[in-house]
Amino acid sequence: MRKGHGPVGIIGTTERPQTMATWVFSMDATMTLTGDLKKMSGSEEVVQMTHKEESPSRINRDGDDRQSLRRTLLSCINPMDPDTHVTGSLLNIWSGQVAQPNVNVDRALDIGAQQMIQFERSWPEGFYTSLSKEVVTFNTKKKRLTIGEHAVIDQEAIYARVIGLLVSQRDLNFQEVLATELTAYPPSMFHADGQMRVAAGKSTLKKNIQVDVSQRLTVSPTAIMVDVSAVMWTLEWPVHGTVATFISGFKTWLSLQLSGVDVYLCFDRYHDYSTKSSTRSARATSSRVHHLTLTTPLPARDTVLKNYTNKARLNALICEQVLSDNDFLRNSTQNHKLVVTEDKSEPTQVSEGQKLPVWIFL
């Protein structure tokens, strides 16, 4: 009845006002007669005494929702743990993005109230004056900056436009375009903050110089050198496990390798101001830092391996658990030795469960 009621009354070809009135007046008698007929036939409806939200299926779904919410919150940066925060800067607990110094979105309410006061004071002359945007968010990015009387354009934008001109079909004289200095640094080699651009052609070069060799002509190796950071990309990554679950899988893989040959485990070393630092920073696509322990739910693979802080912590836990598990070392190094290169100045050699330092003389 409500659906058929329009601005000018009852609408529709079959929903005439007289018909609707007949239905309304006869509804009580119809329901009474329908109830009596059900009682006579013995098909009386079962009355539900519980609410549908109290059914087992609804309770189970609510429990799944709570567990999903808990897993999502555990993957975020803990806002109550200041050890994982950048001092003096705003931080997105989901993406891990650190705000620029000029971001003031946390004071948006105060800024808006102050602008409202200034706007009211300008009445009536300034009633139609446009309001400037004073709140700076995480995504705010200026393409130009006024310094003195000159507008300085973002040099990354200039570089992107020149690349667009190169691939376009426009008839341009690039000798004239490039005759003037466009930027203060070569954007093809460096970013605006001074970080070096990563050379992404190494994998292409490796594919070009690789040579297919028949397995019958290869000699069985007596030892293998393992880049732990590279191996972690190939191992199975548990979806609902903990950090200890992943380390257990790594030890199983390591035991399988030690059953055939000697293994040299090489862990990454992270030194400040090294030439590798710029490459690691450029490769990092995840800025979310997690406080990893053995009982911590394992974050996503990209979250750990594309952030050097998380990866360094996982490397340290793997190395610690491998070298401290005496039963694992005793059973796995009976026939072949294990040499671990970690943050220490000298590697550690394990043979028949015995750990000895390895001295390297240059």
Q: Is 222 helix (H, G, I), strand (E, B) or coil?
A: coil
Tell me which DSSP letter residue 296 carries: S
147-173 core/surface letters (b: 16 or more CB in 10 A; e: else): eeeeeeeeeeeebeebeeeeeeeeeee
- Domain-located, residue 329: yes
How far apart, in whole angstroms, are the C-alpha atoms of residue 98 and residue 100? 7
- Domain-located, residue 100: no
Note whether 12 and 4 are within 8 A (CB). Answer: yes
Q: Residue 48 is encoded by which pair of tokens?
A: 């539900």
Segment 347-362 shows an average pLDDT of 74
The model's confidence at residue 1, banded by pLDDT at 50, 70 and 90, is: very low
User: Cβ of 119: how many Cβ atoms within 10 Å?
Assistant: 13
Does 261 score more than 80 pLDDT?
Answer: yes
For residue 333, the enclosing domain spans 218-357
Cα–Cα separations (whole angstroms), residue 201 to 191, 204, 284, 360? 18, 5, 17, 33
Min mean pLDDT across 2-6, 22-26, 242-246, 356-360 is at 2-6
Note whether 73 and 299 are within 8 A (CB). Answer: no
pTM to 2 decimals? 0.50
Note whether 238 and 246 are within 8 A (CB). Answer: yes
Number of domains present in the structure of the chain: 2
> Could you write out the DSSP letters of every residue in 171-193?
---HHHHTTS---SS-TTTB-TT
Segment 104-112 shows an average pLDDT of 87
More confident residue, 8 or 238: 238
Q: Residue 228 is encoded by which pair of tokens?
A: 């732990």
pLDDT score for 274: 65
Does 247 score more than 70 pLDDT?
Answer: yes
Does 361 score more than 60 pLDDT?
Answer: no
Min mean pLDDT across 55-59, 108-112, 160-164 is at 160-164
Note whether 136 and 105 are within 8 A (CB). Answer: yes
- Domain-located, residue 249: yes
- Domain-located, residue 317: yes
How far apart, in whole angstroms, are the C-alpha atoms of residue 25 and residue 357? 98
The per-residue pLDDT for range 275-330, each reduced to its tens digit, is 666 666 655 555 567 778 888 888 888 888 888 788 888 988 998 899 888 899 98
Q: What percent of the chain has pLDDT over 70?
A: 69
Residues in the chain: 362
Q: Is 267 helix (H, G, I), strand (E, B) or coil?
A: coil
User: Cβ of 305: how many Cβ atoms within 10 Å?
Assistant: 20
The per-residue pLDDT for range 134-179, each reduced to its tens digit, is 888 876 555 555 656 666 666 666 667 777 777 777 777 767 766 7
More confident residue, 145 or 199: 199
pLDDT score for 129: 86
Tell me the pairing of strands 9-10 and 144-147: unpaired
257-284 core/surface letters (b: 16 or more CB in 10 A; e: else): bbeeebbbbbbbebeeeeeeebbbeeee
Tell me what the pLDDT averaged over the chain comes to. 77
- Domain-located, residue 210: no
Among 242, 138, 155, residue whose Cα is nearest residue 194: 155
- Domain-located, residue 168: no
- Domain-located, residue 142: no
- Reported as half-sphere exposure (CB side, CA atoms, 13 A), residue 74 has a value of 17
Does 56 score more than 50 pLDDT?
Answer: yes
Top-ranked range on mean pLDDT: pick from 70-74, 181-185, 289-293, 330-334? 330-334
- Domain-located, residue 35: yes
Q: Residue 190 is encoded by which pair of tokens?
A: 């460096």
More confident residue, 335 or 214: 335
The model's confidence at residue 2, banded by pLDDT at 50, 70 and 90, is: very low
Q: Is 258 helix (H, G, I), strand (E, B) or coil?
A: helix
